[in-house]
Amino acid sequence: MKLFAQLLQNKKAMTGLVILTIIILVAIFAPLLTEYSPVKRVGRPHQAPSWDHWMGTTRLGHDVFSRLVHGARVSLAVGFGAGLLITLIGTVLGIIAGYKGGVVDEVINFFTNMVLVVPNLPLLLVLAAFIGQASPLVIAIILGLTSWAWGVRVTRSETLSIRQRDFVKSAEMLGEPGWRIMLFEIFPNLISIVGINFIGSVIFAVITEATLEFLGLGDPNTVSWGIMLYNAQNAAALAVGAWWDILAPCFALAFLGLGLALINFAIDEIANPRLRTGGMLNRWTRMVRLGEGKL
Amino acid sequence: MSDMTSNAILALDNVSKVFGRADKPVYAARSVSFALHPGRTLALVGESGSGKTTAARLIMREYVPDEGRLLFKGAPMGKADAKALKAYRSAVQMVFQDPFAALNPTHTIRYHLERPLRLHQPDLDAAQRKAAIVELLERVKLDPAQMMPKFPHELSGGQRQRISIARALAVNPQVIVADEPTSMLDVSVRQGILNLLNDMKAELKLALLYITHDIATARYVADDIMVMYAGQIVEWGAVDKVLDDPHHPYTRLLLSAVPDPDRRFDDVRFTDELSRIDEIRTQSALPQTQISQVGDNHFFRALPA
Amino acid sequence: MSQPVLSVRNLNIDYVGAEGDFHAVKNVSFDIAPGEFFGLAGESGCGKSTIAFAISRLHRPPALIRTGSVIAVNGRNVLELDDADLRRFRWREVAMVFQSAMNSLNPVLTIEAQFYDVLKAHGPISRAAARERAAELLKLVDIAPDRLDAFPHQCSGGMRQRIVIAICLALNPKLLIMDEPTTALDVVVQREILQRIDVLRKKLGFSVLFITHDLGLMVQVSDRIGIMLEGELVEVNDAQTIYRQPQHAYTKRLWASMPKLRGEQTRLEAAP
């Protein structure tokens, strides 16, 4: 739809989408990109990057590049999976609370406040520790069920402001049922906020998963960027000079975060035309400098 | 008050709406009575805070009267069942003030006109619906082929208002409440919309309630007029009678303050009223229960002595 | 006439876009004499507010006042003032009243504090002296001095707008620009305010540039009127002439589209 078309024209969005696409493709075609298995010992410990091993090896002799491209699958899956769950819960509860008002609103607000007040990371640490070695699926579910509160807040306040508009009143006067109004009248006006919420949640989920695994709460048999960091840390990689061991997953996480953030900025720019300065401001400054006019 | 029995399609009978606490009540509407008849336009004129928005909300059933009744075809709506409510919803439609907020920016014009048809004429098939949409657009003097795929932001304010009117007409209403339909439009576009409302009223024998703060336009479109202040209707009757021979001090004050290019500030017809503005305002806000009659369609509330 | 209070010559203002420019004001020229009430009328987008903002140089990018434009207030070209001179010029020579008084008044300061702010910015003055001057100014607009300790939200819309006008007059400007000052107010309040402005104008001798889309009101209060259409000034004349003998086709159309309160009732035809 219209938003998508505008996204494709925006430089930031294009860059972000390209980055994201690269990572997704790498994740999908991981086995084709490397001849090594990510869990087999294929080289000497802590070999520096070479033609055989593009990104060197870990302390256990695993190929870093192989672990990186296979690990992408897990990070993306958890990121988008948890992100989707967070956004879904947040949006649904937010719209219902904002539209229905009254008792429904109060109840949802109560639970939202409860969840908001609990500090996210410590809660996750406790849960993950309780469960023991949390697999990525478990991590994704925990993230999804504990991080939706902010989304509810944001969605609810947008819904409240849209709800006052005359076209919603008109739909009610026509006799449109409540669920139709929420889904087809209000929700389409929330798409950019929901989009930003989603991307933000994905970034959050990716980073938090990596954090939990880095801290040792993940399942060490998983191949993911977080576990790579965990292993590298345990192997004191930096201390022994094996910079590739730690930098590879760091860079991968940063790269993914960058791509997602760029997409987010672009959505924000499109949703709020006042942020779209870019070309106009350049032309304007040039004209002032040439003496063609002033303020 | 004006006769409520003969062919009045919608009426408020002595309705009051109160806000605030029990010891400090604020009357948004006090003892308001009026009737809407098919083929006639009633103008409700008042400043902001006069209660005209409250009256609109009472008619659209957003508010429920605290005293008095809302009558539809003679039957009180307070005791209405689901069937009567549905009938009411398709009989009474509203045209809003803000053309920018009245349409959903994410839907096409076609969608806006399709929904009311789907809800209120479910027996139509797709082809019949399309034909109905085309007819509605032609009615409001817009080109159907051009308009149907467009989004609201691609239209001008006047065009949007025409779509709002088309949407209201889609359910074959009998009453249209137009709440300041032209106040947010450019001056040169306004009378096009007023003419359209007038034509629709005459063609379809609609009862039109025209709410405004602009008295001159009221004179242009209305058959009858009510002047409202502080929740009360202080003067009402045939539009020419009330405007040419106002009796209530507030009506006189209002008319004297309306910008009239034929007079400069130093040449004033109602000097008396303009020098007593605060006094008139205070007095007009008091409950006035005694009604005086001037002609067979001209009444006003007498100020307490 | 003696030196005009405001002299606008060849004013061109564009809104710069990424690809092209929007010409908001096209080569506009007009004068306002001392003590004159000049009305600038037109529909939305015609450029009248753009001109008003340009006089006090309140624009921000993407607005651009083209070289060659001249805006002279009491003989000095405003467009050539440096920042220091501009600060002195604003409020002392030209003051502006905007449409919504709530946007001009600081909601967390008392009325007295707002006066003090303005007076202090333009020269040393003690708090007590400022309070006295503020009470004097409020009296000009018929507001009791006990309002000095109130906050803006405690005053009605009409009162707030009158307070803004009083603050505008604090430094005795020669030109008062009013951009749709009464559009959001009731007709009776509007009448009170404009009547008050008329009295003050005759007493203090300032000129007024009055911007509105309400033509009937404009003829009632103005000495001369300029009609704007899509950035151009299409007709300038004294008020009664514009009303009774409009020359330009657009002016005629504007009059034709206004319903009359009195007199013959004719069906108005829509603009194409």
Q: CB distance A287–C16 less than 8 Å? A: yes
pLDDT, residue A151, reads: 92
Query: Which residue has 């910008």 as its token pair?
Result: B259
Question: Could you tell me how far CA A228 lies from the centroid of its own chain?
Answer: 19
DSSP class per residue in A166-216: HHHHHHHHHT--HHHIIIIIIGGGGHHHHHHHHHHHHHHHHHHHHHHHHTT
B120 pLDDT higher than 70? yes
- Nearest Cα residue to B136 out of B147, B120, B151, B149: B147
Integer Cα distance of B97 and B178 in angstroms? 8
Asked if the C-beta of A178 comes within 8 angstroms of chain B's C-beta atoms, the answer is no
What structural domains does chain A harbor? 2-289 (1.10.3720.10)
Characterize the bridge pairing of strands C70-73 and B224-229. Answer: unpaired
Which uninterrupted H or E stretch holds B12? strand B10-20
B59 pLDDT higher than 60? yes
Q: CB distance A294–C62 less than 8 Å? A: no
Integer Cα distance of C270 and B220 in angstroms? 14
Write B198-203 long-range contacts (CB < 8 A, 24+).
Answer: B198/B41, B200/B139, B200/B165, B200/B169, B200/B176, B201/B39, B201/B40, B201/B41, B201/B176, B202/B39
Mean pLDDT of C35-43: 92
Nearest residue of B to residue C252, measured between CA atoms: B188
DSSP class per residue in C40-94: EE--TTSSHHHHHHHHTT---TTEEEETT-EEEETTEEGGG--HHHHHHHBTTTE
H helices present in A30-184, as ranges: 30-33, 64-100, 102-117, 120-131, 136-146, 149-163, 166-174, 178-180
The answer to whether residues B177 and A169 touch, using CB atoms and an 8 Å cutoff, is: no
pLDDT digits (tens, 9 = 90+) for C16-28: 887 778 899 999 9
Query: What are the tokens at C113?
Result: 């504090």
C173 pLDDT higher than 60? yes
Q: pLDDT above 90 covers what percent of chain B?
A: 48
Tens-digit pLDDT string for chain A (295 aa): 566 677 677 788 889 989 999 999 988 888 888 888 888 888 888 888 888 788 888 888 888 888 898 989 999 999 999 999 999 999 999 999 999 989 999 999 999 998 888 887 788 778 877 877 778 888 888 888 888 998 999 999 999 999 989 999 999 888 899 999 999 999 999 988 899 999 999 999 999 889 888 888 888 888 899 999 998 888 888 888 888 888 889 999 999 999 999 988 888 877 776 666 666 777 888 888 888 888 8
Suggest the residue from C187, C194, C195, C237 to mutate for an interface test with chain B (most B CBs closer than 10 A).
Answer: C187
SS (H, E, C) A256-276: HHHHHHHHHHHHHHHHCHHHC
Integer Cα distance of B134 and A207 in angstroms? 54
Residue B238: helix, strand or coil by DSSP? Answer: strand
Integer Cα distance of B105 and B127 in angstroms? 25
- Cβ count near C248 (within 10 Å): 15
Query: What are the tokens at A212?
Result: 């939990």
Integer Cα distance of C85 and A277 in angstroms? 30
What structural domains does chain B harbor? 10-301 (3.40.50.300)
Q: CB distance C216–B264 less than 8 Å? A: no
C271 min Cα distance to partner chain A (Å): 27
CA torsion angle A214 A215 A218 A220 (round to 10):
70
B270 pLDDT higher than 60? no
Residue B232: helix, strand or coil by DSSP? Answer: strand
- Nearest Cα residue to A125 out of A103, A100, A142: A142
Q: pLDDT above 90 covers what percent of chain C?
A: 35
Integer Cα distance of C133 and C170 in angstroms? 8
**Subunits with at least 3 CB pairs below 8 A relative to chain A?**
B, C
Distances (CA, A) of B200 to A3, B42, B203: 38, 15, 5
At B1, the amino acid letter reads M
- DSSP structure class, residue B94: E
Integer Cα distance of B190 and B250 in angstroms? 27
- Using a CB-CB cut-off of 8 Å, the residues of chain A touching C64 are 284, 287-288, 292-295
- Nearest Cα residue to B84 out of A178, A171, B76: B76
CB-based contacts of B287, cutoff 8 Å, min separation 6: B30, B31, B232
Characterize the bridge pairing of strands B92-95 and B175-179. Answer: parallel
pLDDT, residue B170, reads: 93
Of A233-247, B3-17, B77-91, give the lowest mean pLDDT range.
B3-17
The answer to whether residues C66 and A291 touch, using CB atoms and an 8 Å cutoff, is: no
Integer Cα distance of C141 and A206 in angstroms? 63
pLDDT, residue B1, reads: 44
The answer to whether residues C261 and B219 touch, using CB atoms and an 8 Å cutoff, is: yes
CB-based contacts of B60, cutoff 8 Å, min separation 6: A173, B92, B94, B177
B245 min Cα distance to partner chain C (Å): 12
C164 pLDDT higher than 70? yes
B254 min Cα distance to partner chain C (Å): 6
Phi/psi of residue B263, each to 5°?
-125, 140
Distances (CA, A) of A22 to A29, A249, A257: 11, 16, 13
pLDDT, residue A158, reads: 94
Closest Cβ opposite residue C62 in set A284, A292, A294? A284
pLDDT digits (tens, 9 = 90+) for B123-149: 999 999 999 999 999 999 999 999 999
- Using a CB-CB cut-off of 8 Å, the residues of chain A touching C19 are 279
Query: What are the tokens at A215?
Result: 């801290």
Phi/psi of residue A260, each to 5°?
-65, -40
C267 pLDDT higher than 70? no
Asked if the C-beta of C23 comes within 8 angstroms of chain A's C-beta atoms, the answer is no
Q: How many Cβ pairs closer than 8 A exist between chain B and C?
A: 91
pLDDT digits (tens, 9 = 90+) for B179-226: 999 988 888 889 899 999 999 999 999 999 999 988 888 888 899 999
Integer Cα distance of C145 and C128 in angstroms? 14
- Using a CB-CB cut-off of 8 Å, the residues of chain A touching C67 are 291-294
pLDDT, residue A100, reads: 93
Mean pLDDT of C60-66: 87
Integer Cα distance of B229 and B213 in angstroms? 11
pLDDT, residue C1, reads: 53
Mean pLDDT of C236-253: 91
Whole-prediction pTM: 0.84
Distances (CA, A) of B137 to A230, B168, C39: 66, 12, 39
Asked if the C-beta of B216 comes within 8 angstroms of chain C's C-beta atoms, the answer is yes
Closest Cβ opposite residue A174 in set B104, B107, B116? B116
- Nearest Cα residue to A41 out of A58, A27, A18, A26: A58
CB-based contacts of C3, cutoff 8 Å, min separation 6: C34, C74, C75
Integer Cα distance of A23 and A31 in angstroms? 14
Query: What are the tokens at B143?
Result: 């080109």
- Using a CB-CB cut-off of 8 Å, the residues of chain A touching C56 are none
Integer Cα distance of B119 and A175 in angstroms? 7
Closest Cβ opposite residue A188 in set B106, B115, B116? B106
Say what the ipTM of the complex is: 0.85
Integer Cα distance of B32 and B215 in angstroms? 20
What structural domains does chain C harbor? 6-99+176-256 (3.40.50.300)
B2 pLDDT higher than 50? no
* Burial A216-246, CB ≥16 within 10 A → b, else e: ebbbeebbbbbbbbbbbeebebeeeebebbb
Integer Cα distance of A258 and A18 in angstroms? 11
Mean pLDDT of B280-300: 86
Split at pLDDT 50, 70, 90, the class of B47 is confident
pLDDT, residue C235, reads: 93
Integer Cα distance of A235 and A221 in angstroms? 16
Integer Cα distance of C161 and C157 in angstroms? 6
DSSP class per residue in B22-81: SSSEEEEEEEEEEEE-TT-EEEEEE-TTSSHHHHHHHHTTSS--SEEEEEETTEEGGG--
Highest mean pLDDT among A235-239, B270-274, C228-232: C228-232
Nearest residue of A to residue B152, measured between CA atoms: A167
- Nearest Cα residue to A140 out of A192, A69, A213, A197: A213
pLDDT, residue C272, reads: 39
